[in-house]
Structure 1
């Protein structure tokens, strides 16, 4: 992505323009989201943007895009899903997103931020399933924060080596994804252990009550 494009957006429309561009642009621009985020980070490192403000606007724009996907799923998701299933390109992504949801449950909202094919599908699917907005917000916004932070910092620190980063971007994000999966797997297992312990305590309590 051209650095001048980001600078021009700020010059012409201010940070509000950047926010709206990130909110709606991620759905229509044929550019990986990571490239957009790293470009904003690089622009910040070169003084074209105020770093903290640029990061905040970027995070809010991406969060708005996730939120739109969620409510889009609640409103017309089922009809959209039927149309998308007929196209092989989307059908494969939908299956991958569903597998992610079945394996990691609500944690898949955080994990999907690091998976391009599932990034905006998972919020749509949870919107269709009527997951409460509070639960959606907790997991989607926390995952988005970590994802945006990593991409922004990479662009900020290594923007002058963007070509090298993009060359090995698949390997880089696989490492990051693996780390996130390990973390979420640990959290899921701890949650299951706590639920099992709670069920055992309740069973013991009920048994004592019957005696």
Structure 2
């Protein structure tokens, strides 16, 4: 994935091109999202794109792709799954996706976006399993946002070394992802503790 390609696309289609690329491109072009997003991050560091607008365009494109996969699973999941199961290149992805679903249930949607291949297939399987859209959106969209919040800055800061990052992609994303999850859990626990303390103080004051 070359920076010149992105520059040409932006010049021709603007930020709408980014959105459509992340939405439809995942079903057409076999280019890892890491490469796309970090290249876009590099483009923003060169002042070619506005960081906030580019980030939002990319995120909306990712959400559109995940939602499309989920809807396809709900509407025509059985014939599509039968088709995929007959293709050897999808067998491993299906097996790994099923294992992740069995182990983590809906939380696997958040985890899957840190695993190439599975991230694009799991929404389809959850659509096929008739998971409620509200639950799907909660876990899938939050996981994608966390992943993007890691990948986009990596491209912005270290975009010239994308090849190295991709080589150690899973290790980097999993470590940063785990740190981010623990931080969020720590903040939630701290907030609940403070709320509990305030309730006790209020109760003591009233009594």
TM-score (norm 1): 0.81
1:70 corresponding residue in structure 2: 70
Contact 2:44 2:50 (8 Å CA) reproduced: yes
Superposed, which structure 2 residues align to 1:61-100 within 5 Å? Answer: 61-100=61-100
SS at match of 2:113: helix
1:79-119 Cα offsets, whole Å, 9 max, x none, are 11011111222111101101101100100111111111211
2:159 corresponding residue in structure 1: 159
2:195 corresponding residue in structure 1: none
Decide whether aligned partners of structure 1 residues 181 and 58 sit closer, same or farther in structure 2, where only a CA change above 3 A counts. Answer: closer
1:121-165 Cα offsets, whole Å, 9 max, x none, are 111111011111111111110000011111101000111222332
2:144 corresponding residue in structure 1: 144
Superposed, which structure 2 residues align to 1:92-131 within 5 Å? Answer: 92-131=92-131
Decide whether aligned partners of structure 1 residues 181 and 111 sit closer, same or farther in structure 2, where only a CA change above 3 A counts. Answer: farther
1:54 corresponding residue in structure 2: 54
Contact 2:147 2:173 (8 Å CA) reproduced: no
Q: Partners of 1:60 and 1:120 in 2: how far apart? A: 15
Decide whether aligned partners of structure 1 residues 148 and 77 sit closer, same or farther in structure 2, where only a CA change above 3 A counts. Answer: same
Q: What is the deviation of 1:30?
A: 2.1
1:30 corresponding residue in structure 2: 30
Decide whether aligned partners of structure 1 residues 141 and 105 sit closer, same or farther in structure 2, where only a CA change above 3 A counts. Answer: same
SS at match of 2:156: helix
TM-score (norm 2): 0.83
Contact 1:111 1:180 (8 Å CA) reproduced: no
Contact 1:19 1:61 (8 Å CA) reproduced: yes
Q: Partners of 1:90 and 1:180 in 2: how far apart? A: 31
Q: Partners of 1:43 and 1:181 in 2: how far apart? A: 25
2:201 corresponding residue in structure 1: none
Give me the CA root mean square deviation.
2.1
Contact 1:111 1:181 (8 Å CA) reproduced: no
Structure 2: state its 5+ residue gaps.
190-207
Q: What is the deviation of 1:180?
A: 7.2
Structure 1: state its 5+ residue gaps.
191-211
Q: What is the deviation of 1:168?
A: 2.9
Count of aligned residue pairs for this structure pair: 185
